[in-house]
Chains A and B, each alone.
Chain A
Amino acid sequence: MVYKRRKRIVLGKVGLDAHDNGLRIVSKWLMDSGYEVIYAGLYNTPERIVQVAIEENADAIGISFLGGEHLFYTDKLAKLLKGKDMGDVKLIIGGVIPPDDVDKLKELGASSVFTPGTMRDTIISIIDGILKG
């Protein structure tokens, strides 16, 4: 039997918005599904999130937004990841995101965008797909 390391995901919020209902719930769902969650909590800078991802050797970063700050910060995060040659670390975005911005976030570098009302199985199967192998 080959030992298979559990996939590691850094979850957090960046900037000043503190609405973390969704993040807390998704965090539990991911742990229940066998992921290792590094919970970075609130009030992070993009730099700090990327630093945590490096230190924790994470496979993905999941960031939750609510107040309309998603484009500003996703752009920063994606550029930081590229700049540090961490393009293989997947960027996953969730939260209150207007429909028109979902594609914009993907263009900026998000692997997936989850908006409110996405069911647990959908989230898990999409993240499984992104991180498989």
Chain B
Amino acid sequence: MNKERKFSFYLEGERIPNFKSLSGIEYKEVYTQSDWHGEVPNPGQYPFTRGIHKDMYRGRLWTRRQQSGFGTPQQSNERIRYLLKIGQTGINMDVDVATKLGLDPDHPLAQGDVGLQGTSLCTFEDMKTLYTDIPLDRVSSTLIVQPPCSAIVMAQYLLLAKERGIPWENLIGTIMNCAITQFVGPTFEATTAFFPIDLTIKIGLDVMEYLVPRTPRWNIININAYNIRETGVNAVQEAAFAISLAADYIKGLMDRGLEIDSFAHRMAFFSAAHIDLFEEVAKLRAMRRIWARMLKEKFGAKSNRSMWFRTAIQTSALALTAQQPLNNIVRATIQTLAAVLGGAQSIHTTGYDEAYSLPTEESHKLSIRTQQIIAYETKVANSVDPLGGSYLVETLTEQLEEQIWELMKVIENKGGFIQCFKEGWVEEQINEARYKWANAIETGQQPMVGVNIFRDEDEDVKINIFRHTPDMQTTRIQYIQDYKSKREQEPVRRALDKIYNLVRRRPDINLFEPIMEAVEARATLQEICDAMRQATDFVIPS
């Protein structure tokens, strides 16, 4: 854009290209009593539109929970301790792609990806290293991993607690454990290539069923709405997909004979905060309302806690740009504000360097400071649901709620979310949304500063980038090879045979305990997954 053009902008009067929300709702010029004149129950009262607690952040601030994890467990331990030192209040541990897919670092297809996007976590000893000097019963941990590996990583964690003499009922945290959306959203190939999908779903339920009576303060699943959203779908789809998927999990557990109020309060969500401030706030309010009604009316929950929609938030990276990366600090601040105004339980503020690499220590710190400034300086957390009663936000909440229910009905009529996923319907919705999002940026209908407007043509980005240590991958590959050769082999073989036989001959039995026995016997993550793959004659890409 040349100078002349900018000048003429000024003369014409500067206008934005449209007045639509990100999901396509037309914002009105002004909202008045004629749009909304309802009443909305107080915070802490059903259906919890205004928040699940009466006092919300006055009683307790949201948890600052920045995702971390890279390289070896030792390296990740150092980063976690750094984050806790500067004011992070919860741990959010990401494992690498190989670990998520059930591969050890020495698998040929894993070698280039070991430790890049999370930490490599394959053995019980890895978990011990990762949590060195971190008290499991005094800081809450989210473990970002989906089935089947959620069973293995959870087993590592429980065994570590046992070894340290910490009763399981004192453990606080979350296993993500979402079978369908945890990897990169509910895209078909990504989610089905390395493990049979039905067994993935089954093991997710096994983990939940095992944890419910044993770890009363532990969340048995985070339904991952964030990764759904990051494929490019809108707020309505994010909410409808995630809650429909949650309904499938609930049915799965109830089919096993679990009573709704015994587990629903241990289910939580992980949602996105995109850049459309009011729509995101309205989305979270609508999700709370829908969850409460669904639990009460459809699933017969009696306990209020079952009806609480609790969510972790990550600020959406789709809104961030590689161009003029400092602008991302501003965006992430507004997105974090949306999460706070929306009443989130914990927040990860995405780093400004997201379009380049994992966060550096500096960028991690900035994300924490962003949240601390909002929490301590701005006063926005002083009153609960400060936007409640706003004509605009209440109207949007109602509009979104209606659209989300509608889409949930469509999904239910097709047999539920998991069925829609298997049949490729979800994949179609995602691809359509991706092209639409790309097109909106191309045409300028979705303005992005630095990309399709106010772009610096000869921008030479100067940014401090996180770099992995050069020998990290070879260190990990060597580690796992030594580990496998130096342990006592017989107990490993026995434990793996047991898993193989159970999967082959007793498909209904809960696999959590046999998996924990294998971890204790020093079987590696991939060995445990391979036993199950072989038992189902499943072949992975090569």
Chain B binds chain A:
yes
On A, residues with C-beta under 8 Å from B are 14-21, 24-25, 28-29, 41-45, 66-69, 72-73, 96-100, 115-117, 119-120
CB of A121 to closest CB in B, whole Å:
8
A69 to B451, CA, bound (A): 25
On B, residues with C-beta under 8 Å from A are 97-98, 101, 103, 108-110, 112-113, 116-117, 183-184, 187, 189-190, 193-194, 230-232, 321-323, 355-358, 431, 434-435, 438, 442, 448, 450-452, 460-461, 463, 465, 468, 541-542
Contact A16 B434 (CB under 8 A): no
Set of chain B residues within 8 Å of A25, measured between Cβ atoms: 434-435, 438
Set of chain A residues within 8 Å of B434, measured between Cβ atoms: 21, 24-25
Chain B residue at minimum C-beta to C-beta distance from A69: B112
A19 to B448, CA, bound (A): 21
CB of B475 to closest CB in A, whole Å:
15
Set of chain B residues within 8 Å of A45, measured between Cβ atoms: 108-109, 542
Contact A16 B465 (CB under 8 A): no
Contact B190 A117 (CB under 8 A): no
Set of chain A residues within 8 Å of B542, measured between Cβ atoms: 45
Contact B112 A72 (CB under 8 A): yes
Set of chain A residues within 8 Å of B193, measured between Cβ atoms: 42-43
Interchain residue pairs A-B with the least CB separation, the first 4: A18-B190, A116-B322, A72-B112, A16-B97
Set of chain A residues within 8 Å of B355, measured between Cβ atoms: 96, 115-117
Set of chain A residues within 8 Å of B231, measured between Cβ atoms: 21
Is the contact region of chain A dominated by helix, strand, or loop, or is it mixed?
loop
Contact A43 B541 (CB under 8 A): yes
Set of chain B residues within 8 Å of A42, measured between Cβ atoms: 189-190, 193
A116 to B357, CA, bound (A): 12
A16 to B97, CA, bound (A): 6
Set of chain B residues within 8 Å of A16, measured between Cβ atoms: 97-98, 101, 103, 109-110, 112-113
A73 to B187, CA, bound (A): 23
CB of B451 to closest CB in A, whole Å:
4
A58 to B103, CA, bound (A): 32
Contact of B468 among A43, A66, A68, A116 (CB under 8 A): A68
A73 to B451, CA, bound (A): 28
A88 to B323, CA, bound (A): 32
Chain A residue at minimum C-beta to C-beta distance from B115: A68
Set of chain A residues within 8 Å of B103, measured between Cβ atoms: 16
CB of B234 to closest CB in A, whole Å:
15
Contact B442 A119 (CB under 8 A): yes
Contact B465 A100 (CB under 8 A): yes
A25 to B431, CA, bound (A): 8
Contact B113 A18 (CB under 8 A): no
Set of chain A residues within 8 Å of B438, measured between Cβ atoms: 25, 28-29, 120
Contact B117 A67 (CB under 8 A): yes
A21 to B230, CA, bound (A): 9
Chain A residue at minimum C-beta to C-beta distance from B353: A98
Contact B465 A98 (CB under 8 A): yes
